[in-house]
Amino acid sequence: MENPYIPYLAVITDIRDETVGERAIKTFRIAFQESSVSKNFTYQPGQCAMLGILGKGESMISINSLANDDYLQFSVMKMGKVTSGLHECEVGDAATVRGPYGNGFPVDDWKGKDIILIGGGIGQAPLRPVINYVLNRRKQYGKLTLIYGARAVSDLCFRKELLELKKLKHLNVHLSIDKKEDGWKEFVGFVPDNLLKVHPSPKNAIAVTCGPPIMIKFVIANLLKLGFSDEQIFTTIENRMKCGIGKCGRCNVDNLYACKDGPVFSYAILKNLLNWSSG
């Protein structure tokens, strides 16, 4: 068996600024150096990988490219050593990738149901492949709704793409920003409040929320108010990770490992594991 700690060599082929500022987000496209690696590197929506740069280290990042893309895409918020190092990279620089890791979203179990995606800030990254997965199998799912917000227009991740998604017939997109800005015609306020305004029905539905922990807490509370059961609510957790393969014990949640058993969990499971209640 190959050593699971040895990463694949890759090169950065494209870099795009998503947002600016102290916690800027950049989107990186990465191509493996060996074509046999890219052929065999398959992944599900919600899975992640250890993205690394030489001399800085590795960070666990959600893979947000789509099934047919011939590159891997990661959107990275500048936080500390590794992510700042990535932000300093240029097209053509070397990178490393280990993975894919994690369970991903159980998208096939959700067939026949309405899907409500609720994201905030960088939380749109893991939701992006879910949107695409459902749009590519449109008839196999019910209504698809995206409720997404950021602090300001300039903080909306994948802004251009979101505006394109708004034009689609088979997807309802509800955007928000925290404070009023000139020219903004959509909701002003926090994501959990926009959720209550949109008021999706829990009947035969699944709700998925990704974003800052405080947003997730209030989104779950509001989903419960709307009548969603614990089993109908899914989220991802971002415990710090090192090995990514359930060996180092860095990311454990009770008797489970976020890197292997997660990062996607239903609220029913998470509530018991973390003694966490948003109700």
Ligand X SMILES: Cc1cc2nc3c(=O)[nH]c(=O)nc-3n(C[C@H](O)[C@H](O)[C@H](O)COP(=O)(O)OP(=O)(O)OC[C@H]3O[C@@H](n4cnc5c(N)ncnc54)[C@H](O)[C@@H]3O)c2cc1C
With vertex at residue 267, the alpha carbon angle to CA 99 and CA 152, rounded to the nearest 5 degrees, is: 75
Site string for ligand FES, 94-123 (x = CB under 6 A): ------------------------------
Residues numbered 225 to 254 that lie near ligand X (CB under 6 A) are: 238-241
**Closer residue to ligand FES in complex, CB, 60/206:** 60
Residue 12, φ and ψ in degrees, nearest 5 = -80, 120
The span from the CA of 170 to the CA of 138, in Å, is 8
Q: How many residues does the chain have?
A: 279
Give every CB contact of residue 26 below 8 A, 6+ residues apart in sequence.
15, 16, 17, 18, 75, 76, 78, 86, 87
The span from the CA of 227 to the CA of 43, in Å, is 32
Q: 82 touches which of ligand X, ligand FES, none (CB within 5 to 8 A by kind)?
A: ligand X
**Closer residue to ligand FES in complex, CB, 24/245:** 245
As measured in angstroms, the least distance from the Cβ of 219 to ligand X is 17
243 scored as a contact of ligand FES (CB under 6 A) = yes
Matching residue, tokens 């959700």: 110
Q: 46 touches which of ligand X, ligand FES, none (CB within 5 to 8 A by kind)?
A: none
Find the part of the chain contacting ligand FES (CB under 6 A) among 19-27, 61-69, 176-184, 238-246: 238-246
Q: Which residues lie near ligand FES (CB under 6 A)? A: 241-244, 246-251, 257, 259
